[in-house]
Structure 1
Amino acid sequence: MVFDCTPRPDAYTYGVMLRCLVQTERHAEAVALHQDMRRRRPCPEAQDDFVLSLALKACVRSAEYGYGRRLHCDAVKAGGADGFVLNSLVDMYAKAGDLECARKVFERIPGRNVVSWTSMLSGCVQNGFAADGLLLFNKMRQDNVPPSEYTIATVITACSALIGLHQGRWMHGSVIKRGLMSNSFISAALLDMYVKCGELEDAQSVFDELSYIDLVLWTTMIVGYTQNGNPLDALRLFLDQKFANIVPNSVTTATVLSASAQLRDLSLGRCIHGIAVKLGLVEYTVVVNALVDMYAKCQAVSEANCIFGRISNKDVVAWNSMLSGYAENNMCNDALMLFKQMSLKGPSPDAISVVNALSASVCLGDLLIGKSFHGYAVKHAFLSNIYVSTALLNLYNKCGDLPSARRVFDEMNDRNSVTWCAMIGGYGMQGDSAGSIDLFGEMLKDGVHPNDVAFTSILSTCSHTGMVTAAKRYFDSMAQHFNIIPSMKHYACMVDVLARAGNLEEALKFIDNMPMQADTSVWGAFLHGCELHSRLQFGEEAIKRMMVLHPERPDLYVLISNLYTSNGMWDKSLAIRRWMHEKGLVKLPGCSSVGRENG
């Protein structure tokens, strides 16, 4: 190079060479060049503001923060620096994670411009202080400093981090007003914000308005659909021919594998596995972990285990995927053995590992093993994790230890709707209707919005205690006060309430007025009431409707036989049983697991 042949380069030559290296992103070489300049041409040339700003930029890009601090000392020794250098110092300290120093430099900048504010704001957001970033943005507006496009994108990112939908929408309006929707950084930030806030319709609207869609935007939308429980939409977008020219990366592939797992679609998952092999993505950790999870959730446990066995460096996500797969497929002993292997040979189990182990204990109905994991959770300080505490609640409830479940519930600092519902369901399982209803009232007083599971539990409680009026009130409040559309489960519970109380005419009218066709769970609840109150005429009506829906289900014929038996019609009951035998219809007997401590 010409520079290398220069025996005594002057300050101007160093500056030109330094700028060339920074512009071509050879930042480590730029830092080395400035170090050479400081040795060969000390002050004041090496402390020139233009040279210092270039050197600081190179320090930031090459993560040479220690040398950046030395440059700050040089600037102080030289009697200070201009605003451009101070802005570079703010950026350098923020990128280094030293927000205290960044703020001190920021406060000393006279006449702070948009670069000063944006550097500090960006530092707050990047270091996990998004709320402070929004406060800075408000101060920036009060100082009448107009934001740049990068400032706006950073503020929207802060809204994403805080799940601040209201603030995010305000920024969206500002973007439209300023005519900045065509900016790719801002559009990507808006899309990400709506996805993280769970507002998929708004995210789709932003996505549809984009003039150019790249891999990042396409993947962001796919991730949004998958994480918000819309796997079909995620797969439709992935397979859309409009984006056939975009080559998926490891994140895209792992996400659509997760969508396949949510749908329990093994054939589709295998196709995506093939795409991953073709694109050379199967060596990526995120993809191989997604493959283990997909095969396990699709009940192809042997294939999941085969892939898991081939992973040379298994991280905690891989172990948890396999643990979850065993637990979900009722291979609970295998899950517990794998947890033991993980403890001995793998990474330290995390909170999700403990949740999976507790799920396996519930599956086995083994309270003693479950208690040992409770002890493990206490020892490793996992009880503050809401998922671990909720899994413990579920364990004690399912194993009939209501006092222990309530103790865990009372000791929780953070409770969500799932936690409340688990405890309400626990009271219901033990037949404590008063406990369920009282706890439901406490939940509402605590300002927790009940979900559909809470109403299933409370309606079931009303059913078993004959609280017809209360059940009607709770059912009506779902849509009126909590914006929850009743599902088939809720209608079945309500029919069960009416039928158990002997209000069969009202129950039949309720079924006829349902907004969807009643399924066998609804008619089964009605038929059970007919059997309890020996109302054969209504029972035969239910039988006719159920036979149309599912003529092949043996449990329906058993219900019919039992109805005839309860009314003393032995010949008809026996004829049904014979017909089932001739057709090869066999109802599998129910079963339950009882551990040593709870049976």
Structure 2
Amino acid sequence: MCPCSPRASLTSWSSFFRAAVENRSLRNGHLLHDELVRCGEDSQASVTNSLIRMYAQLGSIEASKSVFVRHPNPDVCTWNILLYAYGLNGLYQDAYDVFKETSTRDIISWTSVICLLAQNGCGIEALHLFYRMKIEGFQPNKVTLVGALNACVTADSYIHGLAIHVSIMELGYDMDVVIGTGLIRMYGVYGRLHAARFIFDNMPRRDVITWNAIISEFVQAGDFNNAAFMFSMAPERNVASWNAMICAYLQVGNGKMALATFHQMVLMGQKPNEITFACVLTAFADSLSLEDGKRIHLDVAKLGFCNIEVENALISMYGKCEAIQEARSVFNQIQKPDIVSWTAMIVAFTDNDHGEDALSLFRDMQIKNVHVDEVVLFCCLDICAMLSFPSEGECINDTIIKLGLEDHDMVKTALIDMYGKCGKLDEAQNIFYKCPQSNLKTWNALMTALAHSVCVEKVLFLLLRMLQNNMEPNDVTFSCVLTAYNHAGWVDGINQFFLSMKHDHCTIYTEDHLLCMIDLLARAGQLEQAELLIQNFPFRHDEWLAWQSLLAACRTRDDVEYVLHIVSFVPVVNA
């Protein structure tokens, strides 16, 4: 039937609009609009509303606005559809501005904007609107209340959540399944699991979304036993239920159970989705099961689930499994890699000792104007440190300054480490002293650089400054000081400091601390004292290194009997 035939109705036009949306054809949408104008039917309010909605669903917000502006007398329904158009296209601030412009509002108008603001992290503004709506005499419906509960989460306001719970009970919605699910999530976010469980237990009816909500809140709180129990009790499960449990096992580092749950999911006939595959690939990466990972990759390709999240997980999985060529192949097939894709590939190169490839990829990011983040910069600086590429490190430092990230703790620490390992101590110290707000890792990075350059006085000065700033040294700090003493050959100093670690700082000696002491004592000819340390402090991993240090020092001692005594220990340790 021709749209302009006498029998054409709104239903006919609506079906044509739906067809254009289903086919994702903006061109057909424009043709239909032109036909409406030719027929003189574009002034009908109902048709105009449908046009605004159609353009919004096709992603053409400008066309939606153009249709709205031409409407002679937009009613509240038309205004609401314009709000819907902005919201659908992620323009929540524009929707809020339109809402403030019009005085033609109903409960749908208020609810739309409250939900949009809450979904986009503007919880305070959403709560402000919610209370203003009530003052103006509008009674919230179920959707409004769920939006308000979400606003309490994004606004980080538990008190407002309690107040809205009171409103829910006053309105008699507390037994509603949708509202109950919203309350479970709100209480779960604030760690009030007893309240969440109480609401769940007292709900007269629960759907699969409610079960998923209580399982997810237990998972988020780290209560995996209760999460597993609720999962086992759920009368119905969907893909979100299974995903919640797979993610739960991954959070506690139990890749085997995550994979077992995945296999059970498939056996039960539940079709995985993109989130499932992304989680499962993470599990394979952690368990270093390359063959299983490849099989999942084939399944992903067959089912057509190769979205960006899954592809990024594939890169990480192949990288952790030392299959760098496969990782690069996946990366090269991504049409529009995002920052996670680039980062995953650079991390894969870094972890597999392909430092120059990682730096080359970093240069590609800059050429293509891809925004780099702290993780990428950290990896590249680490590579420059390992390969001793100070000039490349200088270029990365220029990028850091342009991005304003020179005060970022992780980046600053990596810069100091890079300059230190490249022998540029002045630059390392300049970075440190430019930013007074440093964390322990930053202090340790500079102390490490100075220790390896035999700057004992500077290391001790930094330790004193650290203590004056009420910063407690850790095992790495003590290793730096011991290393400095060791490289300088200061036997008396290291002995005093070693005792001070125990008495003044209640330190439990690590194997690194002991190896440092043993190495210096042995090289200083104090072999008996070094041997006593080895025998009095049990080693778990590196005892053979301690005996080897002692054996190497024996070359300078003309005492065959003592050398044979030491040699007798080495085979036992190596056995």
Measured in 2, the distance between the counterparts of 1:252 and 1:586 equals 51
- Matched residue, 1:397: 319
Identify if the C-alpha distance between structure 1 residues 111 and 395 changes in structure 2 by more than 3 Å, giving closer, same or farther: closer
Q: How far apart are the structure 2 equivalents of 1:555 and 1:117?
A: 69
1:441 pairs with one of 324, 342, 363:
363
Report the residue type matching 1:329 in the other structure.
V
Look up the match of 2:66.
138
Report SS of the residue matched to 1:234. coil
Partner of 1:501: 422
Corresponding residue to 1:519 among 439, 443, 465? 439
Choose from 106, 111, 114 the match for 1:188.
111
Q: Displacement of 1:381 after TM fit?
A: 2.5
Following TM superposition, by how much is the alpha carbon of 1:409 offset from its aligned partner in structure 2, in angstroms? Answer: 0.2
Alignment partner of 1:158 is 2:69:
no
Corresponding residue SS for 1:347:
coil
Choose the corresponding residue for 1:538, options 455, 458, 461: 458
1:488 equivalent in structure 2: 409
CA distance in 1, matches of 2:411, 2:207: 44
**2: CA distance, partners of 1:203 / 1:484:** 33
Residue identity matched to 1:566 = H
Q: 1:328 to 1:106 in 2, by over 3 A?
A: same
Q: Which amino acid aligns with 2:419?
A: L
CA contact (8 A) 2:36 2:42 kept: no
Counterpart check, 1:149 vs 2:90: no
Distance 1:252 1:245, change over 3 A: same
Query: Over aligned residues, Cα RMSD in angstroms?
Result: 4.1
Q: What is aligned with 1:117?
A: 48
Deviation, structure 1 residue 573: 4.4
Match of residue 347, structure 1, among 270, 280, 285: 270
Cα shift at 1:386: 1.0
Q: Which runs of no fewer than 5 residues in structure 2 stay unpaired?
A: 513-539, 542-575
State the Cα deviation string for residues 425-462 of structure 1 (Å, max 9, x = none).
Answer: 22233344432233223223434332333333333333
Within a 5 Å distance, the mapping from 1:254-269 to structure 2 comes to 254-256=184-186, 259-260=189-190, 268-269=191-192
- Match for residue 567 of structure 2? none
Find the counterpart in structure 2 of residue 176 from structure 1.
100
State the distance in 2 between where 1:258 and 1:408 align.
Answer: 38
Instruction: Return the offset for 1:198.
Output: 5.5
SS of residue matched to 2:167: coil
Moved more, 202-211 or 283-292: 202-211
Alignment correspondent of 2:472 = 551
In the alignment, the residues of structure 2 paired with residue 477 and residue 218 of structure 1 have an alpha-carbon distance, to the nearest angstrom, of: 47
Q: How many residues align?
A: 491
Alpha-carbon spacing, 1:499–1:270, altered in 2? closer, same or farther (3 Å): same
- 283, 301, 311: which one aligns with 2:206: 283
- Residue 485 of structure 2 is aligned with which of 559, 564, 585? 564
Secondary structure of 1:534 counterpart: coil
Deviations 1:542-594 (A, max 9, x none): 33355565537444434443443333345554666666678473659999xxx
CA 1:316/1:135 → structure 2, altered by over 3 Å: closer, same or farther?
Answer: same
Contact 1:478 1:486 in 2 (8 A): no
Q: 1:113 to 1:381 in 2, by over 3 A?
A: closer
Letter in 1 for 2:434: N
Determine what percentage of the aligned residue pairs are the same residue.
16
Q: Which residue of 2 aligns with 1:529?
A: 449
- CA deviation after TM superposition for structure 1 residue 90, in Å: 4.7
Structure 1 residues 470, 546: CA separation in 2 closer, same or farther (over 3 Å shift)?
Answer: same
**Highest relative contact order (Cα 8 Å, sep 6+), 1 or 2?**
1
**8 Å contact from structure 1 (residues 358, 392) kept in 2:** yes
Alpha carbons 2:55, 2:64 under 8 Å: kept: no
Deviations 1:163-205 (A, max 9, x none): 246xx52x5444434445x654334333444455566686677
State the AA in 2 paired with 1:543: L
1:252 to 178, 182, 200: 182
1:497 Cα deviation after fit? 2.3
- For 1:362 and 1:471, the matched residues in 2 are separated by 30
Cα pair 1:498 1:504 within 8 Å, conserved: yes
Structure 1 residue 527: deviation in Å?
Answer: 1.9
The amino acid of 1:508's aligned partner reads Q
Structure 1 residues 494 and 133: alpha-carbon distance in aligned structure 2, compared to 1, 3 A threshold = closer
Distance 1:425 1:315, change over 3 A: same
Distance 1:350 1:336 in 2: 15
Gaps spanning 5+ residues in structure 1: where? Answer: 1-68, 261-267, 592-599
Tell me the CA shift for residue 246 of structure 1: 3.5
Q: CA deviation at 1:393?
A: 0.7
Tell me the TM-score normalized by structure 2. Answer: 0.72
